[in-house]
Amino acid sequence: MRVCEHDSLRVRKWKSELLAFLAETKRHCGIGGGNLCNSETLYAAPAMASRYGYYLPSPLIFIENRTRSVYFCLHRRLRALKHWMKSKGFQWSDDALGFVETPEEGIAVRALRELKEGEVVAKMPKEACLTTKTSGAREIIEEAGLDGHLGLAFAIMYERSLAGDSPWAGYLQLLPDQECVPIVWTLHEVNHLLCGTELHQTVQEDKTLIYEDWKENILPLLDLAPSKLNPKFFGIEQYFAAKSLISSRSFEIDDYHGFGMVPLADLFNHKTGAEDVHFTAMPSNDESDTDVDDCNNEEGIVEEEALAQNSSIYMSELNTANIGNRIVIDSESSSVSEDDTSMLEMIMIKDVSSGTEVFNTYGLLGNAALLHRYGFTEQDNSYDIINIDMKLVLQWCSSMFSDRHSRARVSFWRRLDYSACGSQNSEYFEISFDGEPQIELLILLHIMLLPDDAYHKLDLSVSIAGNCVESSGTTLLNDNIFPNKAFNTSKKSMLPKNVCDALLSLADMRESLYGLKSIEEDIEALGRCSLVREKKLYNSLVLRINERKILRKLRNYASQSFKTPNHSSPRKKLKRTTKRTS
């Protein structure tokens, strides 16, 4: 029977029967039962009906069978994981933690009884974690000198290539092929969905660098060890997939193991600033007394920095990176037996009632960082920021002043020891979640807008002060640029009108990077979008909208901060809030 108009009504009816069925399954099978088939069955069944132009005689029988098979398939896979973990010496209590599938977050960990602060809810043997030291590929990795994440990506591909023969088979069978982070999106998706956002350039660069890494380091190994390595498992797609798993689920284990995949610990989902559980470790006996966190941190930073080329997103991730998927060595609250350095632990940091999800934290991260590393966003994320590139500021300058004027004022600003964030090649200014611009940007705009005579006077005073810029230059600057006593650096309030106008222009220029669609259109699109079926679109819209809301706040800030300078009021000295370190 072909699908006709009349049939589409049946598809709708089918869908509503499905929804009722799912609700019913949910009641019977608990949290996982109803939800797990949402994405697969609910949308697949009517689509299949339309595509193939027929209906199964009894949709409900079909759905029921399918739901059962999906449910039991996951159930079987979870059971296999638990069996594997028990055999490898993982410890957790079956009456304390349950694992369920949710359409939005994938697998989640729930409390099956009340959990108390300080309780160790899981222990993971370091030797059972998948690292460059434990993998069967260790020799190849060491001979080839594959460090850090590169080596771990190779280890994951290698163990995957062994399928059932891998000692991690029971773990790998439950891992997704890849995490839906932007590095695995197509270039078209990156350009289309991330255009204008803080992630756009970063992800473009990531993709190029990851490809180069693979070509330089992995590809040659396939020729060197053809008998040991099946190229099917070491291709560029497999490398991107492994990198996505590392970015979303690897942990820093210790100085000896470095980063690795930690089964069980990686089942906990994230909640910003409201986690219930912490991941902890003691340094292994093989290690020196060096601080584990610091050592590994350094290695991670080197690699991540290379990857992100000083991207602001990465810098903010790194700044908060001592929590999240990292080690918290907390000797007071930890009940790891003093000499048991071979185990990692998950410790409750607050009470959790029975039936609720148990969350870890991956750090205090804004949406750009969350999407970048983990492939999801949060609706109201107070760690969001937006950046205004120095290039954009210079573009605004050249629309207002001659090149000579702009160059002289920027170099004067630098001479006063001010700088933006990032490196010389990719400098940017942060706008906070509340829409407040970084003080260095305000000062640069002030200097840029100074009338020539005031500027020359100031330039002369600073030159006379010579090497004493640090002590007297700032005072001179304060006296000349901020004659308004109401200006308060901590509140950054009461700016001259021309600076406010400059901020408004910069907000418009930054906004134009998002393309022709307005924020209202984005909000409407988000309302129509399904997180489960259109994950990439959904998360990129949340990112765009929240960034644009910050620009809106910047505009409000600029409109409300305006005050006509009153040169007769007593002068207030500006105190520097940041200092260049290099």
Ligand X SMILES: C[S@@+](CC[C@H](N)C(=O)[O-])C[C@H]1O[C@@H](n2cnc3c(N)ncnc32)[C@H](O)[C@@H]1O
How does 377-416 read in b/e, with b if 16+ C-beta sit within 10 Å?
bbeebebbbbbbbbebbbebbeeeeeeeebebbbebbeeb
Please identify which residue in 104, 305, 417, 501 interacts with ligand X, judged by CB under 6 A: 104
Q: How far is the CB of 270 from ligand X (least distance, A)?
A: 4
Q: How far is the CB of 271 from ligand X (least distance, A)?
A: 6
Please identify which residue in 36, 37, 96, 107 interacts with ligand X, judged by CB under 6 A: 107
Site for ligand X in 27-56 (CB under 6 A): none
Please identify which residue in 148, 170, 324, 375 interacts with ligand X, judged by CB under 6 A: 375
374 binds ligand X (CB under 6 A): yes
Q: Would the CA dihedral through 35, 41, 46, 51 be positive or negative?
A: positive
Task: Return the number of the residue (182 or 473) whose C-beta is nearest ligand X.
Answer: 182
How far lies 195's CA from each of 474, 517, 544, in Å?
A: 39, 11, 9
- The β-bridge relationship of strands 426-431 and 386-389 is antiparallel
Helix (H), strand (E) at residue 344: strand 343-348
# residues near ligand X by CB under 6 A: 14
Q: How far is the CB of 102 from ligand X (least distance, A)?
A: 8
Task: Return the number of the residue (175 or 458) whose C-beta is nearest ligand X.
Answer: 175
How does 527-549 read in b/e, with b if 16+ C-beta sit within 10 Å?
eebebeeebbbbbbbbbbbbbbb
Task: Return the number of the residue (267 or 444) whose C-beta is nearest ligand X.
Answer: 267
Task: Return the number of the residue (105 or 501) whose C-beta is nearest ligand X.
Answer: 105
Residue 207 backbone phi and psi in degrees, to 5: -60, -40
- The β-bridge relationship of strands 269-270 and 359-360 is parallel
Whether residue 50 contacts residue 80, with contact meaning beta carbons closer than 8 Å, is answered with no
Smallest CA-to-CA distance from 251 within 217, 188, 293 is with 293
Whether residue 493 contacts residue 562, with contact meaning beta carbons closer than 8 Å, is answered with no
CA pair distance 574, 416, nearest whole angstrom = 13
* Stretch of 71-79, 101-109, 493-501, 513-521 contacting ligand X, by CB under 6 A: 101-109
157 binds ligand X (CB under 6 A): no
x/- letters, 163..192, toward ligand X (CB under 6 A): ----------------x-------------
Q: How far is the CB of 376 from ligand X (least distance, A)?
A: 4
Site for ligand X in 246-285 (CB under 6 A): 248-249, 266-267, 269-270
Task: Return the number of the residue (45 or 128) whose C-beta is nearest ligand X.
Answer: 128
Site for ligand X in 312-371 (CB under 6 A): none
Q: How far is the CB of 251 from ligand X (least distance, A)?
A: 9
Q: How far is the CB of 372 from ligand X (least distance, A)?
A: 11
Task: Return the number of the residue (71 or 374) whose C-beta is nearest ligand X.
Answer: 374
Q: How far is the CB of 195 from ligand X (least distance, A)?
A: 23
241 binds ligand X (CB under 6 A): no
Whether residue 366 contacts residue 316, with contact meaning beta carbons closer than 8 Å, is answered with yes
CA pair distance 371, 368, nearest whole angstrom = 5
User: If 0-12 CB within 10 Å is exposed, 13-18 middle and 19+ buried, where does residue 577 land?
Assistant: exposed
How far lies 567's CA from each of 485, 486, 571, in Å?
A: 9, 11, 8
Q: How far is the CB of 359 from ligand X (least distance, A)?
A: 7
x/- letters, 488..517, toward ligand X (CB under 6 A): ------------------------------
Q: How far is the CB of 32 from ligand X (least distance, A)?
A: 12
User: What is the number of the residue whose Cβ is closest to ligand X?
Assistant: 106
Interface residues with ligand X (CB under 6 A) are 104-107, 179, 248-249, 266-267, 269-270, 374-376
